[in-house]
């Protein structure tokens, strides 16, 4: 029996290989599923009452009045809009064109607003829109830096599961040196060095000794967890005041831009790490797609043999890419002890590195899309705190679960076709 089934199986596989995917139908399908789920939720569990969105904080130069809307009307309006977006994406696919990036972005924004309107209906508490945006941006900082590091490494052909350990070691290094010098800039520098160190260990084992990159990454995460836990209880706890009390970055308002209503206080009254994040994403994009370095790096990730043939030193490119990736992830690690809290805590990254990895895949190994995915995950994490404020009927655990479920759907291919760089994860053996 097995021989009979084998023939069509192998035939279909070779057909798959020949079939070139130009347009993916998966985006409209995914959007349609989410739309249907939202409509189902609103139909089955209607919540009467009004929802309040507060757009201003005390001390804003321009006061924007609080918006009060009818919860269910807004929710159903959002369903109408996202249904229209589904139609738009179907039209693009029918015309054999790629669905542009703005469609899923607008879709996500409208769907979130509709969901918030539904969840907050009937509650007297107001949604603080500004702090909601600011919190999302802030929570996304380590994710975005982690995702940028992941993109750089994977584009060069090295899978970086060790983002988690680079973030954690960065936070650890920043805590010690930031506390010793009382200077958050020195702390951030230490975080960068710590991230590079972990990345180089990954490089030695993955590139020189050709150990399976996923194994090295997982083991490095365990190693850094153990190492920081050990040093934390042996060194940091007994010397808490000298070694583990940092001076955090101050919030810095950008003149002019921070005066814009709503967006200004949310995006441009942040710490310097957030501004660094704003410029890191376009820099990574430019470096990858518009410079000779980026071209070589991508060549090494897609077809190392061809790159070697034209004289590119594959191993050197990969080492450098990993070091740069480690530095970028390290900045993200500084967030924990230079922005978020004042001291290092046991395993304080709590799986953010894995979410960053998910953002890399969700963003299809593209820096801009990966950053947007990281922002979405940051917003989802931020949302659960906000929903408990307005007494929403959604248990916080399900909101916390959301990024992971979304990622599973993404890798399962429901959201477009995510294709890894061809040589991702394979060591290059020169012949």
Residue numbers at the binding site for other proteins (CB under 8 A): 2-3, 5-6, 9-10, 13, 161, 205, 209, 211-212, 214-216, 218-220, 222-223, 225-227, 229-231, 233-235, 351, 354, 357-358, 361, 395, 397-398, 400-401, 404-405, 407-408, 411-413
Minimum gap (Å) between residue 4 Cβ and other proteins: 9
Q: What are phi and psi of 269, to 5 degrees?
A: -125, 65
Instruction: Pick the closer one to other proteins by CB: 226 or 385.
Output: 226
Q: How crowded is the C-beta side of 409, counted as CA atoms within 13 Å?
A: 15
Instruction: Pick the closer one to other proteins by CB: 227 or 287.
Output: 227
**Token digits of residue 69:** 């809307």
Burial of 40 (0-12, 13-18, 19+ CB in 10 A): exposed
- Beta strand pairing status for 126-128 and 252-253? unpaired
Instruction: Pick the closer one to other proteins by CB: 144 or 355.
Output: 355
Minimum gap (Å) between residue 194 Cβ and other proteins: 16
Closest CA to 300 of 428, 209, 430, 429: 428
CA distance 48 to 69: 11
Minimum gap (Å) between residue 171 Cβ and other proteins: 16
Minimum gap (Å) between residue 154 Cβ and other proteins: 12
The H-assigned helical ranges of 45-162 are: 71-94, 102-120, 129-155
The H-assigned helical ranges of 291-340 are: 292-302, 304-309, 314-335
CA distance 183 to 191: 13
Minimum gap (Å) between residue 212 Cβ and other proteins: 7
Minimum gap (Å) between residue 173 Cβ and other proteins: 17
Instruction: Pick the closer one to other proteins by CB: 214 or 253.
Output: 214
H or E stretch covering 252: strand 252-253
Instruction: Pick the closer one to other proteins by CB: 19 or 292.
Output: 19
Q: What are phi and psi of 138, to 5 degrees?
A: -70, -45
User: If DSSP codes are grouped into helix, strand and coil, which group holds residue 216?
Assistant: helix
Instruction: Pick the closer one to other proteins by CB: 204 or 272.
Output: 204
Instruction: Pick the closer one to other proteins by CB: 2 or 309.
Output: 2
Instruction: Pick the closer one to other proteins by CB: 76 or 205.
Output: 205
Minimum gap (Å) between residue 402 Cβ and other proteins: 9
Instruction: Pick the closer one to other proteins by CB: 16 or 431.
Output: 16
Minimum gap (Å) between residue 420 Cβ and other proteins: 8
User: If DSSP codes are grouped into helix, strand and coil, which group holds residue 414?
Assistant: coil
Minimum gap (Å) between residue 362 Cβ and other proteins: 10
Q: At what angle do helices 129-155 and 184-203 cross, to 10 degrees?
A: 40
CA distance 221 to 363: 23
């Amino acid at each position: 029996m097995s021989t009979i089934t084998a023939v069509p199986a192998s035939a279909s596989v070779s057909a798959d290989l020949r079939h070139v995917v130009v347009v993916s139908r998966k985006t409209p399908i995914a959007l349609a599923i989410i739309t249907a789920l939202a409509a189902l939720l609103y139909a089955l569990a209607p919540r009467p009452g009004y929802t309040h969105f507060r757009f201003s904080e005390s001390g804003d130069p321009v006061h924007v009045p609080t918006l009060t809307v009818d919860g269910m009307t807004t929710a159903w309006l959002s369903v109408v809009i996202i249904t229209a977006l589904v139609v738009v994406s179907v039209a693009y696919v029918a015309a054999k064109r790629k669905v542009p990036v703005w469609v899923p972005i607008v879709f996500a924004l409208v769907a979130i607003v509709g969901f918030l309107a539904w969840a907050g209906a009937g509650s007297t508490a107001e949604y603080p829109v500004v702090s909601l945006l600011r919190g999302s941006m802030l929570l996304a900082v380590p994710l975005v830096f982690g995702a940028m590091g992941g993109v750089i490494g994977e584009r060069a052909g090295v899978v970086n599961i060790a983002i988690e350990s680079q973030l954690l070691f960065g936070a650890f290094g920043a805590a010690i040196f930031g506390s010793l010098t009382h200077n958050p800039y020195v702390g951030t520098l230490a975080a960068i060095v710590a991230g590079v160190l972990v990345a180089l260990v990954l490089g030695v084992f993955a590139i020189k000794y050709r150990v399976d990159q996923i194994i090295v990454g997982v083991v490095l995460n365990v190693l850094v967890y153990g190492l920081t836990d050990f040093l934390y209880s042996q060194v940091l706890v007994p010397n808490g005041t000298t070694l583990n009390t940092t001076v955090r970055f101050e919030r810095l308002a950008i003149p002019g831009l921070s005066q814009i209503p709503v967006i200004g206080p949310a995006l441009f009254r942040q710490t310097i790490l957030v501004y660094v994040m704003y410029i890191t994403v376009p820099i990574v994009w430019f470096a990858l797609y518009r410079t000779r370095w980026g071209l070589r790096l991508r060549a090494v990730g897609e077809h190392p043999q061809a790159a070697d043939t034209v004289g590119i030193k594959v191993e050197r490119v990969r080492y450098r890419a990993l070091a740069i990736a480690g530095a970028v992830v390290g900045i993200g690690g500084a967030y924990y002890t230079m922005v978020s809290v004042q001291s290092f805590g046991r395993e304080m990254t709590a799986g953010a590195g894995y979410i960053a990895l998910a953002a890399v895949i969700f963003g299809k190994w593209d820096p801009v899309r990966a950053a947007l995915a990281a922002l979405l995950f940051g917003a989802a994490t931020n949302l659960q705190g906000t929903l408990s404020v307005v007494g929403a009927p959604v248990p916080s655990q399900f909101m916390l679960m959301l990024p992971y479920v979304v990622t599973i759907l993404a890798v399962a291919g429901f959201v477009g076709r995510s294709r890894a760089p061809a040589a991702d994860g394979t060591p290059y053996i020169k012949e």
